[in-house]
Amino acid sequence: MLMPDVQRVVEACLDTEVLRAHLQPVLAAHGVIDALRITRAHRSASLHRDPNPLTFCCEADLRGGGTHKFYGKVYRAGASALATQGSDALHVPALDLALWRFPSDPGLPQLASLLDPAAALPFWGAPAADVQVPRHEPERRATLRYTHADGRVVYGKTFCDTRALAVYRRFAWMWARSQQHADAPLVARPLMCSADGRTLWQEAAQGTSLRSLLDAAPNGDWVMPLAHAIATVHAAPTDLAGPSRRDREHWLAEVRRRRNKIARVLPELTGLADATAAAIEHAAAHLPAHVPTLIHGDFHPDQVWFDGTRIVLFDFDEFALGDPMEDLAEFIVKLPAGANCATLMTLWLGAYAQTAPQHFCRQRLAWNMAVQQLLQASRAFVFQVDDWRGEVQRRLERAHRLATRIDSEVPA
């Protein structure tokens, strides 16, 4: 478990009334806080490796002053004083907390300038009429939406590092493929990458989110197009992959790390976590071999739209070399509960097996599903989902069931 004093601070920051009381003196010059909301939390159970046991985003409604967004980082042993020294961050010593007011971001210093409507000049020869930030992961990445006065839209995606150039190359390859092959997935057309390699711009994509169709389209018109779409990714050049290799050794190390995390935060589940990790490790030694391919690396229903008869794919940030069954497993594990999902997934797996028989393997799929369930168990704590304790146990139980019957059919 976290050390008691750190635990107390973390719980205080996650309690909006307690946090509000601590923030009010710091924000006094801006007005009275009428309401405070935690919009994103990332919690660490690490005792030494992670210097920030909690990072979070919050929104404060200030009386007469609108809504202000903040990014906070909790430190240990008074380290927040050094972190805020010489920066524009606010300091809350009682919580060992550094607080940045949006758009200030210690990992994305370019964000403020990208919010300038003039950032759209290269595309339209005119500034944007409106700029919004639909997605912001502090210190990692952000997505900006630029809207022209006539309604045209361009998106910019900016990163804490120079990976934008690699992501641009992936979209460029997939865009060219989509123009040449009718069964290839569509993507938002890439337009430009910044000289420093931190930001790429794309046209807006068209279509309907797959999530909205899961229960509304019982005939599953998207099943075969989706099989072709992800198979196209798996057949793409491997030089589009990022530097990380998502092989079996990588995931076994992750399994051990996630097992340790769960044991620290919920000691009562240590036995189940141990048994699950042991079953996953045992099964790994008996899995059929496979040739590593390019994989999406973050494949879930929210990354997919359906446009007419074609799939639209998003988010190529995590391309890596790995087992194509990882993409299928992650997609299935992250499906929302629904009446049609089990039947449609059976159809989809059959369509993929028909499209890419050289990659499909039920044993490897089941193993990857067990790993993904364990990851989701850990993430329930990390991202503090509703009823995270119950969700950790439910996900862990599913992982254990899968891991102990790898040789059987994959359950619906």
Mean pLDDT, residues 344-368 taken together: 95
Q: How confident is the model at residue 358 (pLDDT cuts 50, 70, 90)?
A: very high
Dump pLDDT digits (tens) for 294-330: 999 999 999 999 998 899 999 999 999 999 999 999 9
For residue 90, list its beta bridge partners. Answer: 99
- Paired tokens of 253: 């190390």
pLDDT at 227: 96
Read off the pLDDT band of 212 (50, 70, 90): confident
Q: Is the pLDDT of residue 410 over 60?
A: no
> CATH homologous superfamily of domain 218-403?
Aminoglycoside phosphotransferase (APH), C-terminal lobe (3.90.1200.10)
Q: Where are the domains of the chain?
A: 4-101, 111-203, 218-403
Confidence check: pLDDT of 134 > 90: yes
Average pLDDT over residues 207-230: 84
Grouping H, G, I as helix, E, B as strand and the rest as coil, residue 142 is strand
> Residue 357: how many CB atoms within 10 A of its CB?
9
pLDDT at 341: 73
Separation of alpha carbons 21 and 27, rounded Å: 10
Selection from 94, 194, 140 nearest residue 318 by Cα: 140
**Rounded average pLDDT over 392-401:** 97
pLDDT band with cut points at 50, 70 and 90 for residue 50: confident
Dig out the tokens for 256 from the structure.
Answer: 């051990």
167: exposed, middle or buried (Cβ count in 10 Å: 0-12, 13-18, 19+): buried
Using one digit for the tens of pLDDT, what is the confidence trace for 62-77?
A: 998 889 999 999 999 8
The distance in angstroms from the start CA to the end CA of the chain is 35
Q: Quick one: pLDDT at residue 411? A: 43
Confidence of residue 192 (pLDDT cuts 50, 70, 90): very high
Q: Which long-range contacts (CB under 8 A, 24 or more apart) does 192-198 make?
A: 192/122, 192/123, 193/164, 193/165, 193/168, 194/164, 196/162, 197/162, 197/163, 197/164, 197/165, 198/110, 198/158, 198/159, 198/160, 198/161, 198/162, 198/164
- Per-residue pLDDT at 46: 80
- The CATH number of the structural domain formed by 111-203 is 3.30.200.20
Q: Is the pTM of this model over 0.85?
A: yes
Give ∠ CA 303-141-127 in degrees, rounded to 5. 95
pLDDT, residue 409, reads 46
| pLDDT tens readout for residues 242-297 | 998 899 999 999 999 999 999 999 999 999 999 999 999 999 999 999 999 999 99
Mean pLDDT of 326-335: 95
DSSP string, 295-318: E-SS--GGGEEEETTEEEE---TT
Angle subtended by helix axes 16-26 and 4-14, to nearest 10? 90
Q: Cα dist. 342→220, 332, 400, 411, 412 in Å?
A: 12, 9, 20, 9, 5
228 contacts 184 by C-beta, under 8 angstroms: yes
Q: Residue 407 — very low, low, confident or very high, per pLDDT cuts 50/70/90?
A: low
